[in-house]
Amino acid sequence: MVEHGVHDAARAVERQPAARALARGGYVANGLVHLLIGSLIIAVAFGGDQDADQTGAFRAVAEMPLGFVALWAAAALLAALGVWHLAEGMLASRRREGAAAWGLRISEWGQAFVFLFFGGLAAAVALGARPRADQAARDASRGVLALPGGVVAIVLVGLGVAVAGVVFAVMGVRRSFRSKMSIPDDALGRTVAGLGVAGFIAKGIALGSLGLVLVVAALRARAEDAGSLDAAIRALLDLTLGPAIVVIIGAGLIAYGVFTVFRARYARL
């Protein structure tokens, strides 16, 4: 009975034109956030001291004139996109069967969690919070490392993030993101697809770097080595040609942001 009620609610969301429009707006908001993150990453490569992650992007928006209005809009749109993916996960059995349905469901719910989390983060910053993702990651790692099996737990989280990075990179190389979009076969469509390839690969590298930072921090049992995307970017700066690599990642995330704005138009919802 409860299951039927949940499915009915998910179908109701899917059938609402307003819900679809808000979900598309969520892609625009997500794209603009990635544009900011990419810009912050490039600034860090040239010596900037801003946090090159989502919290840094939201704090940058908060400092703009009427930034709190933009943050509330982003919070609402990202949450709407999260609810859309939540509903799509509930209805996964219509498109797949058995294990494939559960794979799709987990993918949709994972995306729902990410968008709802960042929607909540945008709302928190709009209310005056000024979170720092690196410090939060270190505090959380310190608490987990103090628990039995804490090292294993953080290693698994790091590996999970790294695997997500590989998935993004593979999606970019194979252009499999096209299966979820209706990209026109013209000059604009080819440009959008090219932005998608560059963006997915760059995001994959960024996530892979973050996963590696978490794994190394766990194996060293040093919570202070853990961090967010900002920590991963700063770790890359210490490598040979590190600044050039970071600039490429930043440019790639800007490409991903532009692609995601176009995704608002071409996504199959």
pLDDT 10s digits, 117-130 = 999 999 999 998 88
pLDDT 10s digits, 52-63 = 888 889 999 999
Query: Domain-by-domain residue ranges, the chain?
Result: 1-130, 132-269
Query: Are the C-beta atoms of residues 12 and 91 closer than 8 Å to each other?
Result: no
Mean residue pLDDT of the chain comes to 86
Q: Please state the length of the chain.
A: 269
In the 3-class helix/strand/coil scheme, how is 14-68 assigned residue by residue? HHCHHHHHHHHHHHHHHHHHHHHHHHHHHHHHCCCCCCCCHHHHHHHHHCCCCHH
Residues 6+ apart with CB under 8 A from 104: 89, 92, 95, 96
More confident residue, 157 or 227: 157
